[in-house]
Amino acid sequence: MKKIGVLTSGGDAPGMNAAVRAVVRKAIYEGMEVAGIFNGYEGLIQGKIELLQLGSVGDIIQRGGTMLRSARSPEFMTEEGRQEALKQLKAHGIEGLVIIGGDGSFKGAAELVKLGVPCACVPATIDNDITGTQFTIGFDSALNTVIDAIDKIRDTATSHERTFIIEVMGRDAGDLALWSGLAGGAETILIPEVEYDLEDIITRLKSGSGRGKKHSIIVVAEGVMSGTALSDSLKREAGIETRVSVLGHIQRGGSPSARDRVIASQYGARAVEVLKEGKRGVAIGMQNHTVIDYDLAIVFKRSDTKKDEELYKLSKELSI
């Protein structure tokens, strides 16, 4: 393989730039050319493609967002769009692709694989919800952003003896809520994977309050319900007053954490290696502290994992 392309797609995540940098540097190290495809699949169709050099990725390892930008592409959802993408790849002599993004982006890659384009997919999403890997790029950074927010809100919660509900991202996946709730010392954590029990939440709040504990932090993943809906329920069912903070988009941004920069570097470099080795449709990931690659098909067979249950159980035990 003499020339590969790299693009970022889907919601941005801290560490995407570090992954792009690793792809570019590793490819050049391996004697390949690298083309940067701007604005995701949309830009691929439009031919927004530029050759990248070592200098193109200087001073970006520490930056949030993605220098290649990202975009939704309704056009790529169509057969015509994908044929256009294929034409562009051929026109630019790109023989393989590194796709950096979440599972939506991986689905696009799977379509390209069907059309004969070798793709290596690098998981980058703050939700940590890609089957087959223990960690995605961006999760650790988002986690640190969330606990920084929880620490700040705790100052007010303690000073005013109030209960705060903090709504964090996570439509289907509760990792961000669970880890941040545990790390933030939250008294109650609501995640999509476990049905919540309003009675239990009320009992816990009241028992804490009975013991003289007058402030409390509840972390709720947006996939369970909105912070406001939970606040309304607590007020209606038990007369409990709460304040709501919706963390929102700050969770996606910021300089990546050390760990995200390291795994982004590892994933990006491995993606180049697997293309060089002739693999055609693989995802990159981490298992047992070791970088792995595995069949893209595995990503789409989503299944719950047992580890979350242990962490969830722990969060309950420590928040007595």
The binding site for Mg(2+) comprises 103
As measured in angstroms, the least distance from the Cβ of 148 to a copy of itself is 8
Closest Cα to residue 198, out of 229, 168, 173, 169? 229
Q: Cα–Cα distance between 73 and 12 in angstroms, integer? A: 15
The position carrying tokens 């109650």 is 188
Q: Cα–Cα distance between 298 and 296 in angstroms, integer? A: 5
Between 211 and 301, CB nearer to a copy of itself: 211
Residue positions annotated with a catalytic role: 127
CB atoms inside a 10 Å sphere around CB 29: 11
Q: Are 189 and 222 in contact (CB under 8 A)?
A: no
As measured in angstroms, the least distance from the Cβ of 114 to a copy of itself is 27
Closest Cα to residue 304, out of 312, 292, 316? 312
- Contacts of residue 305, defined as CB under 8 A and 6 or more positions apart, other chains included, come to none
Q: Torsion angle of alpha carbons 245, 246, 247, 252, nearest 10°?
A: 180
- Contacts of residue 200, defined as CB under 8 A and 6 or more positions apart, other chains included, come to none
Binding residues: 11, 21-25, 72-73, 102-105, 125-127, 154, 162, 169-171, 185-187, 211, 213-215, 222, 243, 249-252
Per 3-state DSSP, what percentage of the chain is helix, strand, and coil (rounded to 5)? 45, 20, 35
Between 5 and 181, CB nearer to a copy of itself: 181
- Contacts of residue 298, defined as CB under 8 A and 6 or more positions apart, other chains included, come to 131, 132, 283
The position carrying tokens 């995701």 is 40
Q: Are 17 and 48 in contact (CB under 8 A)?
A: no
As measured in angstroms, the least distance from the Cβ of 149 to a copy of itself is 5
**What residues form DSSP beta bridges with 219?**
166, 189
Between 117 and 267, CB nearer to a copy of itself: 267
3-class SS of residue 4: strand
Q: Cα–Cα distance between 44 and 21 in angstroms, integer? A: 19
As measured in angstroms, the least distance from the Cβ of 79 to a copy of itself is 26
Between 113 and 261, CB nearer to a copy of itself: 261
As measured in angstroms, the least distance from the Cβ of 223 to a copy of itself is 19
As measured in angstroms, the least distance from the Cβ of 33 to a copy of itself is 15
Between 113 and 271, CB nearer to a copy of itself: 271
Between 88 and 133, CB nearer to a copy of itself: 133
Q: Are 38 and 280 in contact (CB under 8 A)?
A: no
